[in-house]
Each structure stands twice: as structure tokens, then as C-alpha cells.
Structure 1
Amino acid sequence: MKNVLPRKEVPELLVDTVNGMTWNLRDQQPKNFTLVVFYRGLHCPVCKSYLEELNSKIERFRDKGVNVICISSNTGSLAEKTATKWDIEKLTIGFDFSIENARKWDLYISEGINEKEPERFFEPGLFLIKPDNTLYAASIQSMPFARPKFDELLKSITFILNEKYPARGEA
């Protein structure tokens, strides 16, 4: 049975960030949505290019009333390295999100297959959450590939808002 369903309240999401703050989904007050991007971690080159692309489009998301956070299971020190080595200075980066909490979000869990990967980490997920903390849309991957494209997501958000299109997949 799934833990995260459209039109239902999402699990609690409380995470420390590299800027020294604790970020709580329940405290967010976006005009339209909160975009939560779960990523694999510093070891993942696909995550690097994905978050760098998001960083380059962050103002477009903000203009659409979307708050954004990116979260991994990396330790604080690995998250700090991510924030300094990657071109993601405009993004809020959360860290130390536990595998147990990742399971509550229906994320896939992988075991490291080489010395560069952590012993365990979660695979990517993207969640668009309404201001009332209910899920609007989700994309959950079992691999680092085939993630939603940010330009398409931006176009979709425009359509959603203009047409008052409801969340789907709740049945």
C-alpha cells in the first residue's frame, strides 16, 4: 500500500539544511506549491546536472509561486561539499533524511555498489505539494535516470493553475 497519494496529506517532512536552518514542510506558505526534490547524494553525477539545471530555473519556479527544497540522505559534511562543489547556490539543500523517513515517502532504497556510494541511500523522487500539505503530483524513480524535465514541469504548472486542473491518481 502506498504512503503518498494525490489529494491526501503527505508525511511529515522536517530536515536540517546546509544554511543552518531546520526546514519544515508544515511551515511553508507557498502561493501555489512546494516542490520537494529527493536526490541520491554527492556521489551521483546525474543528480549534479539535475540540481544544477534546477538552480538555473529557480526564479521561474518562484515566479509561479513554488517553493523548492532538495533533500538527500547525505551527512551534513557531504551536503556541505555538495553545496560548494556543485553550481546550486540558489537551492535549499536538506540533509540527513533517514532511510526510514524515505520509505514513508515511498522512495526506492538502494545499497551501494562501489566505494563511491553510501552503504544505503534513496533513489530520486519529485513531489509537488499544495499549500494544505496534500500531494498534487509525484514522480518516483528506481534509478537515477528518466527524471521529470523542469521545463515541462514549469509548463504543466502554468496549465494546472490556468485550468484549475485537479490532482489525479487518487483512486
Structure 2
Amino acid sequence: MASQKIDAGMAFPTFTAKSVATGEQITVGEANGKWQLVIVYRGKHCGRCKKYLNILEQQQQAWADAGFDIMTVSADSQTKAQLDVAEFNWTFPIACELSIDEMKKLGVYISEPLSANEADGPFSEPAVFCLRPDGSVQIVALSNGPAARPDLAELLDGMIFTIENERPARGTYQ
């Protein structure tokens, strides 16, 4: 399956992944009547991901106050993801074991590990999605490497403006 491009305004391709907390399959991105922030991160091997998710932890209440549900997901095994949760005390929902097919549905960049120390197999490069209450994509930000990600405080500020002013998804000109 080739990677698909996710366009602003389209329905987010929901998928299932394993909950790090419970080990049960959960659906990610399903329309639930609330705004959603979905962050796809590289995994345990990535120091920049840890820094980014630590910022998310600090801002979690601000995102909730703005009406957002949060979900993060990686291709890491449950064991690897649990190690990070234990080390950093992250309290937001985290899913793991994102499959290559699911990565392709999301249109994310996929990388091969540079060594066995980096990752157990192919993994997703960073992506951030903001979803409207109907499950459509308001914001899509994809990166092909760990150094380029949206600033979470700026993104939240922009999303609050978008919600308060009932702005549509942008970048939809065909």
C-alpha cells in the first residue's frame, strides 16, 4: 500500500493501536464530538520526541481547557512505550504498535532504523493532526525528520482563534 496524502478538510483515517496503559486496542481519531490533537511520534529512541512530549505534558491542561482530547501514538512496542511513561510520568493517552499500513494511511514519513539500537523496525517520523469534532482534519503537519515540529503553544493559540472565530480548514483549494 502506498502512502496516502491527508488533505485538510477530509475525514481523518481512523485506525486502531494498542493502549500503552491497558494493552487493549483503541480507536484513534474517531469523531467524538470534540476537537482532538493527535501526535504521532518517532519512539523511545528519539530524544527530541521526549522533549516534545514533555512540553505536551506541561500544556495538557491548557489543551483540555480549550476543548481538546489528546492522543499520542508511535510504532514502539508496549514495553518500550511503558518505559518512557514510567521515566517521564506522562499522563496523556498513548497508543503504540502503530503498523506500517496505518502509517501509510496517515501519510506520514516512514524511516528505517539506522541501527538495532535506534528502533526494532520501521517507524514514523513526527506528525501532528488537529481534528474537528466531526473527525475532519483542520491541521496536518508532517515532518520527515525529528527537528521540524509545530510549536505546541503557538498551535494551541491558533486553534483557540480558529474555534472562537469558526474558521474552516485552510489549504483546501483544488
For the criterion TM > 0.5, the same-fold answer is yes
State the Cα deviation string for residues 50-91 of structure 1 (Å, max 9, x = none): 001000100000000000011000011111112112241x21
Show structure 2 runs of 5+ residues with no match: none
Q: Please list, as runs of the form range in 1=range in 2, the aligned pairs for 1:92-131 lying within 5 A after superposition.
A: 92-118=93-119, 119-131=121-133
Q: Alpha carbons of 1:27 and 1:120: their partners in 2 closer, same or farther (altered >3 Å)?
A: closer
- 8 Å CA contact 1:37, 1:69 repeated in 2: yes
The counterpart of 2:84, out of the listed 82, 87, 91, is 82
What TM-score, normalized by structure 2, do the two folds share?
Answer: 0.90
Structure 1 moving runs of 4+ over 4 Å: none
Q: What amino acid is aligned across from residue 147 of structure 1 in structure 2?
A: R
Please identify, of 120-129 and 16-25, the stretch whose mean Cα deviation from structure 2 is larger: 16-25
Q: What amino acid is aligned across from residue 27 of structure 2 in structure 1?
A: N
Q: Alpha carbons of 1:26 and 1:121: their partners in 2 closer, same or farther (altered >3 Å)?
A: closer
Please, what is the CA RMSD of the aligned residues?
1.6
Per-residue deviation, 1:131? 1.5
Please identify, of 141-150 and 111-120, the stretch whose mean Cα deviation from structure 2 is larger: 111-120
Per-residue deviation, 1:152? 0.1
The counterpart of 2:25, out of the listed 11, 22, 43, is 22
How many pairs are equivalent?
169
- 8 Å CA contact 2:32, 2:135 repeated in 1: no
Percent identical residues: 27
Show structure 1 runs of 5+ residues with no match: none
What TM-score, normalized by structure 1, do the two folds share?
Answer: 0.92
